[in-house]
Structure 1
Amino acid sequence: MKLSKLEKYFEVEKLVFHSLECALYNVSAVVEGQEYMITDEKNQRLKSHNILLLQRQCERVKAKKHVVRQSSAYDEMVGGPIKVNNEMEVSLGDNKLY
């Protein structure tokens, strides 16, 4: 979903900042129970090494909450069984530090 379209919603359930690798983040939004990856006008996913930059880009989105979501490969790295989903979500306030 394009950021410009998302900004027109009255309110979205949450903005999810996905922690990928080497401090790289991208953004999705949960709207009416569906999760959408957020893109710019050229259909490129919003991504950055700076989470504050992403928050600034999304400042006009009215979201009930912001979270950081991270998955870990730790279980597989230590020889444990592969888990289907070990995602962790941490609440991230929008302190307007940007």
Structure 2
Amino acid sequence: MTKDQQPLSKLEQYFEVEKLVFHSLDLALYNVSAVVEGQEYMITDEKNQRLKSHNLLSLQQLCQHVKAKKQVVRQSSPYDEMVGGPIKVNNELEVSLGDNKLY
């Protein structure tokens, strides 16, 4: 499923977004999306490249001026299928994440 994209600079101008979602992709690789009025947008830079990093704190720092009600880390796992379990439609896990400004 492809998500629409929004540049970070535009999201920083919103009064408030519902949620920042840091997607845990693979081996400590993350990208980030924002939920605005029920619609999820992948966040890009000014060159229309998705924000991504091997460091979650650096992504939080990049997004520090986005006013979000909450932040979460989202991860989905293919392991159920890998061990012969039934194919699942959605096994995403979301964990609340605070911004302690450790950057």
Band the TM-score falls in, shorter-chain normalisation: over 0.9
- 1:89 counterpart (80, 85, 94): 94
Report Cα offsets for 1:46-72 as digits up to 9, x if no partner.
000000000000000000000000000
Q: Which structure has more strand as a fraction of its residues?
A: 2
RMSD of Structure 2 on Structure 1 (CA): 0.4
Q: Which amino acid aligns with 2:73?
A: V
- Aligned to 1:38, the other structure's residue is in SS state strand
The TM-score normalised by the length of structure 1 is 0.99
Q: Distance in 1 between matches of 2:67 and 2:31?
A: 18
Name the structure 1 match of 2:60: 55
Name the structure 2 match of 1:39: 44
Q: What is the identity percentage for the equivalent residue pairs of Structure 1 and Structure 2?
A: 86
Q: Distance in 2 between matches of 1:74 and 1:82?
A: 10
Name the structure 1 match of 2:3: none
- Aligned to 2:44, the other structure's residue is in SS state coil
* Number of aligned residues: 98
Q: Which amino acid aligns with 1:21?
A: D
Q: Give 5+ residue unaligned stretches, structure 2.
A: 1-5
Deviation at 1:87?
0.2
Deviation at 1:74?
1.3
- 1:10 counterpart (12, 15, 24): 15
Q: Which amino acid aligns with 2:80?
A: D
Q: Give 5+ residue unaligned stretches, structure 1.
A: none
Moved over 4 A (4+): none
